[in-house]
Amino acid sequence: MYPVMLSLAGRPVLVVGGGRVALRKVRGLLAEDARVTVVAPAAVPEIEDLAEQGKIVLERRPYRDGEATSYRLVLAAADDREVNRRVFEDGERAGVFVNVADDPELCSFHLPARVVRGPLQVAIASAGRAPFAVRRLRQLLDRRLGEDWAAWADAAGGFRERVLAAPGLAPEAREAIFDRFFRETVDPATLSARVPDDGEMDEWLREAGTGRRTPGPGLVSLVGAGPGAPDLLTLRARERLAAADAIVVDRLAAPALPRDLPPEVEIHDVGKDAGHHPVPQEEIEALLVRLAREGKRVVRLKGGDPFVFGRGGEEVEALEAAGIPWEVVPGVTAGIAGPAAAGIPVTHRREAVALTLVTAHECAKDEDQVPWDLLARQRHGTIVGYMGMATLPRVVERLLAGGMDPATPAAVIERATLPDQRVVRAPLAELPAAVREAGVCPPALFVIGRVAARGTPRERARRS
């Protein structure tokens, strides 16, 4: 099948049949301003009403042999297959395209299912073989493609006219600027679109003419990549990544990088993970400032949330001191999402009315910044610890010394939300040995409190 989009405005089209299927065909044709004639011995009330309003011609009679030859296009939806067959054969002899509803053998063309958003149309077809699947795909896309696509398509059409009217642009430069329009306004992961403002489009045209970006400070977006699974990125995070010129990424956030980034996007891997910082923090901050001063849109991609043990506050201070514009795109923090992925609610009525997030590597220092003795005395709270595998024995020792019950439920979640996630559960006093025996490695979180005993049997079987 060769797909085409036909202009039917003012052209004569015949519909044979007067039932509900014929009504759908008539409405689709009228939407394209076709001149519609319906031939049927009887018609549903809606077709009768369209005829009374003068929107169609209705001839209440059987189909006459050969009359299909007088039309540019014919659609047959009669209840009698023999009638439909005669319509199809008449069209074949005269070279007129005919579609018979739900009868692929009697079709010289097929009608695709469509999703329409203003001037934008997405057509789906299966060469008549699986119309049920086509209908369901159309429903899926109809839900995914929001109404903002109509305004986007209008903007794209206007932008194309401006590009074609711009003097001195070579064909390859035009294609590059069209690529940029699409890249900066469409999120392929979420099938969402935004309408750029006139200032953005003016900038793209100027830069296409000069071959370089307008000088001036760029923008640094501190973006949270979420707890691990790439599909837990927020919509705004995906938008910033799609529009980035440069991305500075930690190792644990790297799986969230889109696979379809343009090749010209700079990727700066600073390799940070728990307890291992091959690129010093000061060098990362200097890199962000340098890239932004080159006029680039920079994404600083961090695991979890930038402001939860991500040193995002320090990077914001460095950007402020350098006069660089910045923003924060919050992420799903691992301290809540990790336990949730293991079926553990960090709060629960009458069990946990307080939640404490701690960075457990502080326990390796001579003077702990975490008041473990106070945390040990709370009976209705949950402790979630980041970066704590190396210091877990010390954490448990401090909590037990502070009076926490050795039988307090506890768990460690390794690689939370990822396909190879593991959960190790044990009473508090036995947790370090259980983790050591299981060979748990970072990244991992620990959860201590009564809620750590929770989690559905299905989740335990699937994840443990």
DSSP sequence for 67-126: GGGGSSEEEE--S-HHHHHHHHHHHHHHT-EEEETT-GGG-SS-PPEEEEETTEEEEE--
Share of the chain above pLDDT 70, in %: 94
CA distance 217 to 219: 7
| 62: three-class secondary structure by DSSP | coil
pLDDT (tens digit per residue) in 121-171: 999 988 878 888 999 999 999 999 999 999 999 999 999 999 999 888 888
Return the pLDDT at 155. Answer: 95
For residue 263, name the pLDDT band (cuts at 50, 70, 90): confident
Residues 245/297, Cβ–Cβ less than 8 Å:
yes
**If you average pLDDT over residues 419-444, what whole number do you get?**
95
pLDDT for position 67: 95
pTM: 0.60
Q: Which of 107, 114, 190, 201 is nearest to 154 (CA)?
A: 201
- Cβ proximity of 223 and 331 under 8 Å: yes
pLDDT the model gives residue 458:
47
Q: Which two tokens stand for residue 357?
A: 């997030």
The pLDDT confidence band at residue 213, using thresholds 50, 70 and 90, is low
Integer Cα distance of 386 and 399 in angstroms: 16
Q: What's the DSSP call for residue 64?
A: P
Domain 335-463 has CATH 2.40.50.430: no
**pLDDT 10s digits, 33-87:** 999 999 999 999 999 999 999 999 999 999 999 999 999 999 999 999 999 999 9
Active-site residue flag, 272: yes
pLDDT digits (tens, 9 = 90+) for 3-26: 888 999 999 999 999 999 999 999
Selecting among 25, 90, 187, 272, the annotated active-site residue is 272
CATH 3.40.1010.10 fits 216-332, yes or no: yes
Task: Single out the catalytic residue among 250, 296, 302, 305.
Answer: 250
Q: Does domain 12-111 have CATH number 3.40.50.10480?
A: no
Helix (H) or strand (E) holding 209, with range, is helix 198-210
Query: Within 211-270, where are the H helices?
Result: 235-243
Domain boundaries, the chain: 12-111, 146-214, 216-332, 335-463
Q: Name the residue type at position 37.
A: T
Confidence of residue 350 (pLDDT cuts 50, 70, 90): confident
Catalytic annotation on 302?
no
